[in-house]
C-alpha cells in the first residue's frame, strides 16, 4: 500500500458569486492548488480526478465531473463524480486516497464544488430538503434545519445542554472565520447576538445555521515517491474512515449521536494507529451548532453528553487543548455542499504547514477532518500528520 501525501490544496473564496459558475469556481480552486505545490506540478501530471458535488439545479447532471474538470484544463484525465450529499467532498477525498494507495495513480485530485446562491426561495429549500430522507422527512414537510433541531432539542433534554453552549459554537467559529480571507461570513458575533437570533427551527436560530454558499476546493494528493520530488514540507494522510447510517433520522436508535460519525472515526483512527486523544485539532461538520457538539462526542473528543461543557471550557478555542474549526467552519467560512469536505482538508493542510496566516494555531502535529452527509447518512473522517512517514 502506497503512503498518501497532500502536496497542494486550496479553495476559492466561499460566498455568493452570481457571476461565477461550477466550472469557473473549480478552475480557480485548481489553479490555486497547483500554485500551492512547492515544486513544479502541471495539470498533465494529474492521473485521476474525483469531484464531489451534489450538483443539482438544472446544470449538467450526467457527466458532472468531466464537464467541470475539462474546463479547468484536465481534458482527457479520468474524472469521476462522487456524491454523498454534504459529505461529497470528504467522499471524493477518500477515493483519491484509495486511488493512490492502490498504486493506480501517482497524483490524484480530490475536488469539490457547488453553486447554491442562484437558487431562490422555495427552490433553495427544496434542494436543501433533498439531503434529508425523501419519503418520511422531506415529503412530510420536514426541513433540513428541522431535522437538526430535533437533535438539538433531544441533546438539551437528555443532557442539559444549554442555549448558551449551542451559541458558543457560533461565537467561536465566527471569531475564527473573521480571520479567514476566504470565508463567506467574515464577521464576529457576540454571545448575546447568537442567543437572540431569529428562530429558524426551534431551538435553532439564525446563528445556529450555516449559510448557503458558492465555492470550490481542490486537494492534490501524491504517492511518497512523487511527493518527495515536490516538497520538503509534506502533509501525510494517515487515516481514512467512511461509514453510513440510516438516512432518515427517525430510523436511527438515538437522536443525540450519529453512528456513521462514530464508525468513520473508528476506521480512521485504526487506520492511522491513533486514538481520539492524539488529535491536536480538527475541522468538523458544523452545518448547525448542534452538529459541532455531536461531533465532539462522536469523534471521542469528550464523553457523551459533555460537549456543552467541553466547548464552554474553551478546549476547542484556538488556544485550547484541541482547536476546532480554526477556518471558521461551515458556520462562518460557508458551506458550498460538495466543496465543504475539501475546504476542511485545505485548512488542515495550511495549519500543519504553518501557512494559515492570522488564524495559525501553535504546536499542531496531527489534524482531523469530519464531513457529514445529510443528518448522518454518510460520514467521511480523515487524519493528517505533518512530516514524512
**Residues forming the site for a copy of itself (CB under 8 A):** 1, 48, 54, 56, 59-67, 69-70, 74-86, 91, 94-95, 97-104, 127, 130-131, 133-134, 240, 242-247, 251, 259-260, 263-264, 271, 373-374, 377-378
Cβ proximity to a copy of itself, 131 vs 351, nearer residue: 131
Cβ proximity to a copy of itself, 330 vs 356, nearer residue: 330
CB 29 within 8 A of CB 12: yes
Measure the CA–CA gap between 78 and 7, rounded to whole angstroms. 20
CB 222 within 8 A of CB 100: yes
Residue 201 CB, shortest distance to a copy of itself, in Å, is 18
CB 143 within 8 A of CB 128: yes
Cβ proximity to a copy of itself, 56 vs 206, nearer residue: 56
> Is 184 marked active-site?
no
CB 88 within 8 A of CB 379: no
Cβ proximity to a copy of itself, 189 vs 368, nearer residue: 368
DSSP 164: H
Report CA 73 to chain centroid distance, whole Å.
25
| Residue (of 383, 314, 381) closest to 348 by Cα position | 383
Residue 264 CB, shortest distance to a copy of itself, in Å, is 8
> Is 86 marked active-site?
yes
Measure the CA–CA gap between 86 and 135, rounded to whole angstroms. 19
Whether residue 287 is preceded by a cis peptide bond, meaning omega within 30 degrees of 0, is no
Residue 281 CB, shortest distance to a copy of itself, in Å, is 25
Cβ proximity to a copy of itself, 104 vs 389, nearer residue: 104
Each residue of 7-31: b (16+ CB within 10 Å) or e?
bbbbbbbbbbbeebbbbbbbbbbbb
| Catalytic option among 86, 189, 209, 302 | 86
Cβ proximity to a copy of itself, 101 vs 335, nearer residue: 101
Structure-block grid coordinates of residue 301: 473528543
Please report, for residues 204, 205, 258, the alpha-carbon distance to residue 209 in angstroms, rounded to integers and kept in the order given: 7, 7, 18
Residue 379 CB, shortest distance to a copy of itself, in Å, is 9
Residue 109 CB, shortest distance to a copy of itself, in Å, is 12
Residue 138 CB, shortest distance to a copy of itself, in Å, is 9
Cβ proximity to a copy of itself, 58 vs 363, nearer residue: 58
| Residue (of 294, 284, 316, 339) closest to 149 by Cα position | 294
| Residue (of 147, 141, 114) closest to 126 by Cα position | 141
Residue 152 CB, shortest distance to a copy of itself, in Å, is 21
DSSP 234: -
Cα-based angle 215, 221, 223 (whole degrees, multiple of 5): 175
- Which phi and psi (to 5°) does residue 198 adopt? -60, 135
| Catalytic option among 174, 182, 184, 335 | 335
Structure-block grid coordinates of residue 373: 452527509
**Would you please indicate which residues are annotated as catalytic (active-site) residues?**
86, 335
Amino acid at each position: 500500500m502506497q503512503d498518501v501525501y497532500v502536496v497542494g490544496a486550496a479553495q476559492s473564496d466561499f460566498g455568493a458569486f452570481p457571476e461565477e459558475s461550477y466550472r469557473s469556481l473549480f478552475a480557480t480552486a485548481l489553479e490555486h492548488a497547483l500554485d500551492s505545490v512547492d515544486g513544479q506540478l502541471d495539470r498533465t501530471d494529474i492521473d485521476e480526478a474525483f469531484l464531489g458535488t451534489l450538483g443539482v439545479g438544472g446544470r449538467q447532471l450526467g457527466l458532472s465531473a468531466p464537464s467541470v474538470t475539462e474546463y479547468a484544463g484536465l481534458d482527457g484525465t479520468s474524472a469521476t463524480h462522487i456524491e454523498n450529499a454534504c459529505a461529497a467532498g470528504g467522499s471524493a477525498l477518500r477515493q483519491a486516497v484509495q486511488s493512490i494507495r492502490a498504486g493506480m495513480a501517482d497524483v490524484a485530485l480530490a475536488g469539490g464544488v457547488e453553486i447554491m446562491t442562484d437558487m431562490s426561495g422555495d427552490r433553495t429549500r427544496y434542494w436543501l430538503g433533498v439531503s434529508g430522507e425523501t419519503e418520511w422527512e422531506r415529503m412530510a414537510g420536514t426541513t433540513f434545519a428541522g431535522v437538526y433541531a430535533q437533535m438539538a432539542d433531544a441533546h438539551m433534554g437528555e443532557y442539559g445542554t444549554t442555549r448558551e453552549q449551542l451559541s458558543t459554537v457560533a461565537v467561536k467559529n465566527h471569531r475564527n472565520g473573521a480571520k479567514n480571507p476566504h470565508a463567506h461570513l467574515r464577521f464576529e458575533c457576540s454571545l448575546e447576538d447568537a442567543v437572540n437570533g431569529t428562530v429558524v427551527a426551534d431551538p435553532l436560530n439564525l446563528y445556529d445555521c450555516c449559510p448557503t454558499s458558492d465555492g470550490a476546493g481542490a486537494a492534490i494528493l501524491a504517492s511518497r515517491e512523487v511527493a518527495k520530488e515536490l516538497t520538503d514540507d509534506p502533509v501525510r494522510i494517515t487515516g481514512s474512515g467512511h461509514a453510513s447510517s440510516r438516512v432518515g433520522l427517525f430510523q436511527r436508535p438515538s437522536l443525540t449521536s450519529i453512528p456513521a460519525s462514530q464508525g468513520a472515526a473508528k476506521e480512521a483512527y485504526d487506520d492511522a494507529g491513533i486514538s481520539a486523544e492524539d488529535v491536536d485539532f480538527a475541522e468538523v461538520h458544523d452545518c448547525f451548532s448542534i452538529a459541532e457538539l455531536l461531533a465532539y462526542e462522536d469523534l471521542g473528543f469528550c464523553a457523551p453528553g459533555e460537549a456543552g461543557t467541553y466547548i464552554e471550557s474553551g478546549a476547542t478555542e484556538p488556544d485550547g487543548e484541541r482547536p476546532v474549526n480554526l477556518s471558521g467552519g461551515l458556520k462562518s467560512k460557508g458551506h458550498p455542499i460538495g466543496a465543504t469536505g475539501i475546504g476542511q482538508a485545505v485548512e488542515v493542510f495550511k495549519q500543519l504547514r504553518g501557512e494559515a496566516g492570522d488564524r495559525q494555531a501553535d504546536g499542531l502535529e496531527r489534524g482531523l477532518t469530519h464531513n457529514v452527509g445529510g443528518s448522518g447518512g454518510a460520514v467521511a473522517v480523515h487524519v493528517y500528520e505533518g512530516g514524512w512517514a
